[in-house]
Amino acid sequence: MSWVEQAREWADRLHPAGLLYSTYEQRLLAELDRDRLPRHVAVLADGNRRWARLNAPGQPYEVGYQAGADKLKQFVEWCDEVGLGVVTLWVLSTENLARNSDDVGPLLGVIERLFLDLAATGRWRVKLVGDPTLLPEDMTDALRAAEFDTASVEGLKVNVAIAYGGRHELRDAVRKLLATQAANGASLGEVAQNLEIEDIASHLYTAGDPDPDLIIRTSGEQRLSGFLMWQSAHSEFYFCEALWPDFRRVDFLRALRSYATRERRYGR
């Protein structure tokens, strides 16, 4: 967090309403059951464009994208503070790439800076989750280099879902699986006969990570939009009315509190 962002945060906290929220935050934090926290939290950071229309009328959507990116950095900090193991941030869908190029270009710039800023802290292992072939080559090179630089970092793992689509991921997983089996000399019939659930899971973008225990979506939308379709089979969901740039730490703590009170049935 930059000194400007820190100054704004402290100014908000010193305001009477800010002091009230700060006290409430501390109470929520103290009451969290640390033994019932999720291992992996995923977030659909929705509402950046609507936030821009409401808070910066007449300005380009990039204002909202940047506000959303700043909030994502804070969100990762919050996840680290409570000791989570994995966080997945969905910042760009395959459908988003079909938008007007005047909109997509600035969005890609914000996303690249976000990824590089997260990696530059040296505190987290940052990974690209999605289809890099859909991104500009120079952007992919920069993301892969940052990913490589953090590969040995211990602690919180941050998946950044860029050019991600759930169906896209399943298609790619099956393609990789078939290619691997073919390279090992297996026939299509043998693959079909011996295929197991774990075989597909091991070829997903998030292979090796635990499935998300909790998925948060903001802006009042109550749908997954194809996010982590395979991995979310037994996830718990938390929907928040706030537009993403307005999502507060207290909202995050409420989501964790809600999760901690649930009885997970895993489909039973």
Q: At what angle do helices 137-149 and 101-120 cross, to 10 degrees?
A: 20
In this prediction, residue 9 carries a pLDDT of 59
* pLDDT of res. 100: 82
The per-residue pLDDT for range 218-264, each reduced to its tens digit, is: 999 898 999 999 999 999 999 999 999 999 999 999 999 999 998 87
Which CATH code is given to the segment(s) 36-164+211-260? 3.40.1180.10
The count of other CB atoms within 10 Å of the CB of residue 87 is 23
Which of 48, 96, 131, 213 is the catalytic position?
96
Q: What is the pLDDT of residue 27?
A: 78
Asked if residue 103 has pLDDT above 90, the reply is no
- Average pLDDT for residues 132-156, to the nearest whole number? 96
Q: Which of 33, 35, 46, 103 is catalytic?
A: 46
Q: How many CB atoms lie within 10 A of CB 214?
A: 22
Q: Determine whether 209 is an active site residue.
A: no
| pLDDT above 60 (res 44) | yes
* pTM for the full predicted model: 0.88
Catalytic residue list contains 46 = yes
**CA 268/CA 265 separation, integer angstroms:** 5
Which pLDDT value is given to residue 4? 47
The reported pLDDT for the residue numbered 99 is 86
Phi, then psi, of 86 in degrees rounded to 5: -140, 140
**Average pLDDT of the residues in 172-186:** 94
Helical residues (DSSP H) of 1-136, grouped into ranges: 3-14, 16-31, 48-55, 62-81, 101-120
pLDDT-based confidence at residue 84 (cuts at 50, 70, 90):
very high
Q: What is the dihedral of CA 40, 62, 139, 174, to 10 degrees?
A: 50
Provide the residue ranges of all domains of the chain, joining segments of one domain with +. Answer: 36-164+211-260, 166-204
